[in-house]
């Protein structure tokens, strides 16, 4: 009997997988085009509402050019794709839902990309890669010590001969553009498979943890047995599945920073070859991002494992078995009472039950109880008067206060009547240092306002501004209490004889109040 029945069953099983179901659908080109346009190597996830809006925009664009598209909106299509296991929805770090592609969708995109671009044909580069890989694995598989030594000696002899030839000035054969392009195509075939490989490991870890959580919540077995199984699976987390074992073996190399640094240098060396000028900027950027792709994939797997482990630990810690048992006992009692009631109740009988318990009629509910410690007197304050600083003198306090209005009036009257001051700034600059604090400028402006000198200056400044665009200012040389000096520019103010008389009258009135 032929093997056609077994082959048919195997092929049907393959077509039942989400990857081939995606490629076999009517709208497969549209779905893959949306995935290709919305997701990339640098954009692994898209915020849910944003993807819904993007799909609506894609539908509108395709309808505008007459292309046939599905009749649903973006939200409905995303939900359908999620149910078909092509999209995965989760909550991100910012507490917003976001979509990411599953490994099945990534595999479908990889197949389409491979068919839509020129594949690497049989070449010296591809055959050399196969031969080197087979030789390396054969050396590892052969337990014969003498055979392994013979292989190593042969490899050492070949490399020593090549080194000696180069050391003596031998010619270095430059790789042709065709050979480099063939090797580049082989590398791209391997690199493009990495995202789906990492995604399969993430899904495998998530599926195993979901199964453990379901077993824990079902409570069909003793909790201690479930915990033991959880701990044992956690210890063998990456070795219980084929994807996990593959990742665990690769992780030994991936966490070697020196190896990754050397890989980055090698990628840069390849891109420095003239053949790289034939590549597009996107291809070069994607090729140079291989190390980042590897690091991101490893981090995603480890984050998925650590996050789910944390979730399980919190579930185990917060799971209250006593409350669950009390609820189960209450439900059993309700079932018993229901059975007794059904013996006499009719088919349409009802029972009035409150969804929420009523409130208690209490005037006051004590929230705090007597605590003798709350009525103890506080400890006496420590006497630290010996460490108190010397109190400031009255003169020191006055230097930190506001303007000395009375003294300023007397000084201005004296400056304009006896000393012939030309302006308020001129009079100010001739005062004693203790009367030339910066705050005294405000006092002078206040005094000038009291006799309308400021208004008169503003009118003159407005007239000058209309004619020349400028008005006159003067410098006030101030002295702070600490002895430092500062110069301020203030509009020039002059006092007439009537102004000085008015100031003298103000001081006289304040002295006799």
- Which CATH number is 249's domain given? 1.20.58
Residue 284 in domain: yes
CATH assignment of the domain containing 100: 1.10.10.10
Last residue of a domain, one of 112, 144, 178: 112
Q: Domain for residue 143, yes or no?
A: no
Which position has the higher pLDDT, 116 or 278? Answer: 278
Q: Does 384 reside within a domain?
A: no
Domain boundary among 112, 133, 156: 112
pLDDT at residue number 469: 45
Buried b (16+ CB within 10 A) or exposed e, 157-171: eeeeeeeeeeeeeee
Q: How far is CA 139 from CA 128, 162, 259, 312, in A?
A: 16, 22, 22, 43
- Considering the domain architecture, whether residues 17 and 108 belong to the same structural domain is answered as yes
Same domain? For 325 and 399 the reply is no
pLDDT for position 486: 92
pLDDT: which is higher, 54 or 299? 54
Say whether both 27 and 95 belong to one domain: yes
Q: How confident is the model at residue 501 (pLDDT cuts 50, 70, 90)?
A: confident
Residues 411 and 311 in one domain: no
Q: From CA 359, how far away is CA 338, in angstroms rounded?
A: 26
pLDDT, one tens digit per residue, over 414-463 is 888 888 888 888 889 988 888 899 998 998 888 888 888 877 765 655 55
Q: What is the pLDDT of residue 478?
A: 93
* Residue 108, in any domain of the structure: yes
Does 221 share its domain with 333? yes
Structure tokens at 214: 């379901």
Place of tokens 């966490």: 255
The pLDDT of residue 476 is 92
User: What distance in Å separates the CA atoms of residue 464 and residue 456, rounded to the nearest whole number?
Assistant: 13
pLDDT at 386: 86
> What whole-number percentage of the chain has pLDDT above 90?
3
Which helix (H) or strand (E) segment holds residue 489: the answer is: strand 485-491
Q: Does residue 363 lie in a domain region?
A: no
Q: Which residue, of 112, 127, 146, is where some domain finishes?
A: 112
* Residue-level pLDDT at 18: 77
pLDDT for the residue 257: 77
Q: Which of 37-46, 221-230, 261-270 has the lowest mean pLDDT?
A: 221-230
pLDDT at 1: 47
| Residue 332 and residue 216 share a domain | yes
Are 277 and 408 contained in the same domain?
A: no
Number of domains, the chain = 3
The answer to which of 31-35, 40-44, 346-350, 444-448 has the lowest mean pLDDT is 40-44
Q: Let me know if residue 335 belongs to a domain.
A: yes
Domain check: are 324 and 412 in the same one?
no
For 462-499, what is each residue's pLDDT tens digit? 555 544 445 688 899 999 988 899 999 988 888 888 88
In this model, does residue 384 exceed pLDDT 50?
yes
Q: How high is the pLDDT of residue 154?
A: 86
- What pLDDT does 398 receive? 78
Same domain, 500 and 404: yes
- Asked if 315 and 195 sit in the same domain, the reply is yes
Q: 462: domain range? A: 395-511
Confidence of residue 305 (pLDDT cuts 50, 70, 90): confident
Confidence of residue 249 (pLDDT cuts 50, 70, 90): low
Report the C-alpha gap between 338 and 332 in whole angstroms: 10
Beta strand residue intervals within 92-223, DSSP E: 97-101
Say if residue 306 is in the same domain as residue 222: yes
- CB-CB contact of 432 with 410 (8 Å): no
Give Cα 481 to chain centroid, integer Å: 52
- Within-domain flag for 141: no
User: At what angle are helices 405-417 and 439-450 packed, to 10 degrees?
Assistant: 70
Asked whether residue 414 is assigned to any structural domain, the reply reads yes
- Do 313 and 413 lie in one domain? The reply is no
Give just the sign of the alpha carbon dihedral 317, 318, 320, 321.
negative
Model pTM greater than 0.85?
no
Q: What is the mean pLDDT of residues 331-341?
A: 85
């Amino acid at each position: 009997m032929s093997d056609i029945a077994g082959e048919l069953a195997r092929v049907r099983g393959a077509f039942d997988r989400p990857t081939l179901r995606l490629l076999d659908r009517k709208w497969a080109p549209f779905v893959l085009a949306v995935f290709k346009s919305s997701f990339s190597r640098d954009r692994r996830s898209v915020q849910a509402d944003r993807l819904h809006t993007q799909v609506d925009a894609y539908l509108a664009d395709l309808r505008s050019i007459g292309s046939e598209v599905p009749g649903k909106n973006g939200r409905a299509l995303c939900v359908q794709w999620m149910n078909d296991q092509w999209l995965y929805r989760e909550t991100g770090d910012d507490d917003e839902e976001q979509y990411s592609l599953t490994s099945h969708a990534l595999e479908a995109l990889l197949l389409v990309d491979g068919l839509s671009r020129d594949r690497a044909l049989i070449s010296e580069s591809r055959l050399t890669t196969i031969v080197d890989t087979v030789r390396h694995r054969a050396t590892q598989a052969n337990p014969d010590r003498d055979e392994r030594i013979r292989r190593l000696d042969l490899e050492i002899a070949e490399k020593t001969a090549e080194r000696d030839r180069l050391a003596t000035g031998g010619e270095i054969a430059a790789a042709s553009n065709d050979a480099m392009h063939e090797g580049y195509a082989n590398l791209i075939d391997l690199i493009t498979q990495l995202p789906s490989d990492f995604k399969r490991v993430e899904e495998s870890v998530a599926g195993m943890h979901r199964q453990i959580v379901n077993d824990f919540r079902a409570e069909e077995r003793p909790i201690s047995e479930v915990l033991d199984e959880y701990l044992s699976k956690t210890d063998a987390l990456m070795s219980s599945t084929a994807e996990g074992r593959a990742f665990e073996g690769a992780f030994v190399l991936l966490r070697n920073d020196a190896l990754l640094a050397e890989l980055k240098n090698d990628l840069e060396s390849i891109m420095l070859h003239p053949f790289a000028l034939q590549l597009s900027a996107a291809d070069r950027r994607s090729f140079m991002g291989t190390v980042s792709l590897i690091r991101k994939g490893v981090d995603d797997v480890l984050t998925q494992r650590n996050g789910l482990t944390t979730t399980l630990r919190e579930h185990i810690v917060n799971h209250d078995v006593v409350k669950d048992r009390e609820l189960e006992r209450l439900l059993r009692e309700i079932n018993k009472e229901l059975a007794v009631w059904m013996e006499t109740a009719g088919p349409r009988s009802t029972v009035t039950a409150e969804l929420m318990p009523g409130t208690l009629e209490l005037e006051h509910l004590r929230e705090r109880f007597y605590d003798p410690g709350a009525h103890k007197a506080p400890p006496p304050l420590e006497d630290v008067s010996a460490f108190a600083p010397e109190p400031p003198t009255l003169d020191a306090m006055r230097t930190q206060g506001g303007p000395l209005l009375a003294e300023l009036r007397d000084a201005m009257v004296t400056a304009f009547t006896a000393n012939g001051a030309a302006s308020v700034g001129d009079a100010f600059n001739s005062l004693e240092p203790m009367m030339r604090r910066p705050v005294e400028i405000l006092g002078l402006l206040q005094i000038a306002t009291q006799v309308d000198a400021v208004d008169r200056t503003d009118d003159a400044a407005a007239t000058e501004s209309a004619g020349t665009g400028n008005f006159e200012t003067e410098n006030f040389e101030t002295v702070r209490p600490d002895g430092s000096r500062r110069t301020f520019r203030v509009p020039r103010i002059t006092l007439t004889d009537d102004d000085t008389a008015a100031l003298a009258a103000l001081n006289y009135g304040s002295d006799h109040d």
